[in-house]
Chain A
Amino acid sequence: MSKDIRIKKGLNIKLVGEAEQTLAVTETAGVYAIKPEDFHGIIPKLNVKVGAEVKAGESLFYSKSDARILFSSPVSGKIIAIVRGERRKVLEITIQADAKQHFAEFGKKEASKMSGEEVKNHLLSSGCWPFVKQRPYDVVANPNQSPKAIFISGYNSAPLAPDLDYALKGKEAELQVAITALAKLTEGKVHVSISKETNLSPFNGVKDAELHGLVGPHPIGNVSTQIAQVDPINKGEVVWVVTPQDLVVIGELLLTGKFNAKRTVALTGSQFSKPKYVTAYPGATIATIVADNLQSEHTRIISGNVLSGTQVSLEGSLGYYDNQITAIPEGDDYEFFGWNKPIFNKISASRALTFSWLSPSKKYDLNTNTNGEHRAFVVTGSYEKVFPLDIYPMQLLKSCMYKDLDEMEALGAYEVAPEDFALTEFICVSKQPHQKIIREGLDLMREEIG
């Protein structure tokens, strides 16, 4: 351990429905939908037509801005539809998967003997490049830039997050190979962070990277929190970020020559009768994964976690980057005098006749009710208590709202991703959509500044 990363500001949101550590295998056959929208900021150019057969790892589309960035099919099968929206925007590419998977062959590689350029080209041609995301802007990395460091968060602190120690167990070899390869892409270091609370992490003893111990509440697992403490981003600098489950895919590609996007997905939340882990491919239809496991029809299904995930229907699909599906009750009901009576069954960052501060370890069954209406910013000083970065959150949000690029830059917009504003959004008394505001601000900066 070289340097521990400690924060005090933050909030652990404890919910009912943690995944039990049992693994079920879901059928591979079925319909898969790949949504270009999962890759924020990418304008897709199709490589395939309806009716074509693809193998797992063959590209479906590429980025308009850089034709080298390919996006691969996670499964082998037949393209059955290309769903388009307004102005012919590609919304979904649907694939009927084969029962037995066929993989495109990319050849085994020895990571330690590859050059940086070789690694980059290999990741690009195999469709693994989209797993590398960049800060600033939180988008798929630009292969023409070189990052000052690469960050991997081996610990997820979000509500009900999958236990990566469990989900990645036995993948030590893949992780190591992938890190060795990624280390060639940067002149700086690869930083891997793991929780100090357990010593079961598959990253323990990892080589070619600097290991950091994490201590503190959510958002300690967010990469921005870690970057800010280890090697903060300044103007003009780029940091790349890869998630551990995507590292496994990269590792397997190098070891076996196959693009195998299969991952362990946690089914979490109070609406699952059996919260557990399952294996699935990105793009899988939600219904096949959660089959017979939901307690009620009146459920919000989320691909991802409750703070930053995407709402999906049963017919929807697992997000390309997601390794968690959360199901919580919908909260579309009125509550008599809900705004002034004492509250015991909801989480609050204040003590305004809310009593979650009395039992910090209690698990809550929260629903999707907004608990109030949208208002202008009024309360001050509350965001800072759950926001560990050296940034003024409300000032940055406001600069995004009035689109002052200079001010956004000065206030630290390069250092944040929308997910960093999930906690402030959760506790916001004015119910402002913080993550959306930040996303739009970052998009504007990317467009104007690049």
Chain B
Amino acid sequence: MGLKQNLHNLKEKYKGTKMAPAFNAIHTFLYLPNETTQGGTHIKAADDLKRTMNIVIMALVPCLLFGMFNAGFQHYAAIDGSLRTDVLANFFTFDNFWIGIIKVLPLVIVSYGVGLIVEFIFAVIKGHEVEEGYLVTGMLVPLIVPIDTPLWMLAVAVVFGVVIGKEVFGGTGMNILNPALTIRAFLFFAYPTWMSGDKVWVYDAVNRTGTADAISGETILGAYAQNQEVVYSTFDKFMGFIPGSIGETSTLLILLGAAFLIFTKIGSWRIIVSTFLGAAVMGFIFNQVVAADIITESSKFYGLMNTVWWEHLMIGGLAFGAVYMATDPVTASQTNKGKWIYGFLIGFISIMIRVFNPAYPEGVFLAILLMNVFAPTIDHYVVQGNVKRRLKRAKVKTA
């Protein structure tokens, strides 16, 4: 009672001042506000944006925890390959998790800290409430970067992503590009050596380069792109015991997250299903190209083109992108029909870029950003269908 009353008094005190949005953000985090309906419906359903965003964060937590264990596991397994023979026994250890704590947790803290500071500053300057969009973005960002990303680099990228990706358009709900992917894209184009190659995906691989203790930090996609043999089993790929961006590796947990998002009706099943479908179709086409001997082993595209279509769905960031990134309602298509087209093209183009991009064998974030740009166009044509139906009805009537 005491806290509630005190906070209420403070809210009244700050009302109308510059700092009100900053205070309210903290207040509404603790308490659902005492606002009542004025005009319009007198009752409202239980859901608000905070609750919606919170569900997405909950769906991401398993991926984060797994990523923290995996950070350690990939590090130790790169040093001592025998650990891979019995993954399950060697995976959930405190040593592994400790690496997660010292390497992954700081990324999370920097992402949230910097992002929320920017959000608070904008809310105070523009005099609107602090919007919830960054709650999810802040969690996504550390999960889609390589483990050895320097913290200052992340901080710069977050500032860029939040300001240019979102705030200049007017904040959550107005942005054209997915802010988390804008941050990822900024990192990729500004600091490419830290974002790709065969070192950055395993903790300490960069530091050890050139020393006697050098370890490999390569992803499966990297290996395929260079037509190398891949050492990981299908089980490893599905479970996520492989190198990669921090949260993207475990297809199993991502699918569980997808099930949770679909069940709670927060994530669009249309986008998730159609993205996987698009990727499978593109993968299958490439398989057929190889089967028809159009591309032979001498080609530099052979490794990735020859990857079985369903394997494409498990490796790289495709599953993570399909479930957590493509489904961002603000930047995705907004019509149900449009979501099918939007998702399908994301999957389709992802695999295409993955195979053909010479510099960096992954295309999911580029494909999603590209389709973010095209989503309004897709919607426009879907809505025009409705408009034409209406006009046709009128013509039949008058004819």
| Chain A residues packing against B (C-beta within 8 Å) | 13, 15, 159, 232, 234-235, 237, 300, 302, 306-309, 311, 326, 328, 330-340, 343, 346-354, 356, 366-373, 375-382, 384, 390-392, 394-395, 410-412, 422, 425-431, 433-436
Closest CB-CB distance, B380 to chain A, in whole Å?
10
B117 within 8 A of A: no
CA distance A15 to B33 in the complex (A): 23
Is the CB–CB distance between A436 and B4 below 8 Å? no
Closest CB-CB distance, B355 to chain A, in whole Å?
31
Is the CB–CB distance between B43 and A367 below 8 Å? yes
Question: In chain B between 29 and 69, which residues have their CB closer than 8 angstroms to a CB of chain A?
Answer: 29-52, 54-55
User: Per a CB cutoff under 8 Å, which of A336, A356, A366, A426 touches B4?
Assistant: A336
Across the two chains, which residue of chain A brings its CB closest to B394?
A: A234
CA distance A425 to B336 in the complex (A): 19
A-B contact pairs, 26 of them (CB 8 A): A237-B397, A300-B36, A326-B42, A328-B43, A331-B34, A334-B8, A334-B31, A346-B46, A347-B45, A348-B46, A350-B47, A350-B264, A351-B263, A351-B265, A354-B47, A369-B44, A372-B47, A372-B48, A373-B35, A375-B129, A380-B334, A381-B329, A395-B379, A411-B387, A430-B173, A435-B41
Is the CB–CB distance between A395 and B383 below 8 Å? yes
B101 within 8 A of A: no
Is the CB–CB distance between B330 and A434 below 8 Å? no
CA distance A330 to B33 in the complex (A): 13
Across the two chains, which residue of chain A brings its CB closest to B396?
A: A234
Is the CB–CB distance between B35 and A369 below 8 Å? yes
Closest CB-CB distance, A48 to chain B, in whole Å?
30
Which of B36, B39, B42, B173: most chain A CB closer than 10 A? B42
User: Per a CB cutoff under 8 Å, which of A234, A368, A430 touches B42?
Assistant: A368
CA distance A347 to B41 in the complex (A): 14
Across the two chains, which residue of chain A brings its CB closest to B330?
A: A378
CA distance A360 to B127 in the complex (A): 41
Is the CB–CB distance between A235 and B394 below 8 Å? yes
Which of B31, B38, B40, B266: most chain A CB closer than 10 A? B40
Closest CB-CB distance, A190 to chain B, in whole Å?
19
Asked if A348 meets B47 with Cβ closer than 8 Å, knowing A308-B41, A411-B387, the reply is: yes
Asked if A335 meets B32 with Cβ closer than 8 Å, knowing A348-B45, A372-B47, the reply is: yes
Is the CB–CB distance between A370 and B173 below 8 Å? no
Is the CB–CB distance between B49 and A375 below 8 Å? yes
Across the two chains, which residue of chain A brings its CB closest to B11?
A: A334
Closest CB-CB distance, B391 to chain A, in whole Å?
8
CA distance A366 to B46 in the complex (A): 10
CA distance A242 to B39 in the complex (A): 24
B389 within 8 A of A: yes
Is the CB–CB distance between A422 and B265 below 8 Å? no
User: Per a CB cutoff under 8 Å, which of A302, A340, A351, A431 touches B44?
Assistant: A431
Is the CB–CB distance between B330 and A410 below 8 Å? no
User: Per a CB cutoff under 8 Å, which of A348, A375, A411 touches B386?
Assistant: A411
Chain A residues within an 8 Å CB radius of B332: 380
Is the CB–CB distance between B48 and A339 below 8 Å? yes
B222 within 8 A of A: no
Is the CB–CB distance between A372 and B172 below 8 Å? no
Closest CB-CB distance, B264 to chain A, in whole Å?
5
Is the CB–CB distance between A390 and B51 below 8 Å? no
The 7 A-B pairs at the shortest CB distance, nearest first, are namely A372-B48, A338-B32, A376-B173, A234-B394, A346-B46, A334-B31, A339-B50
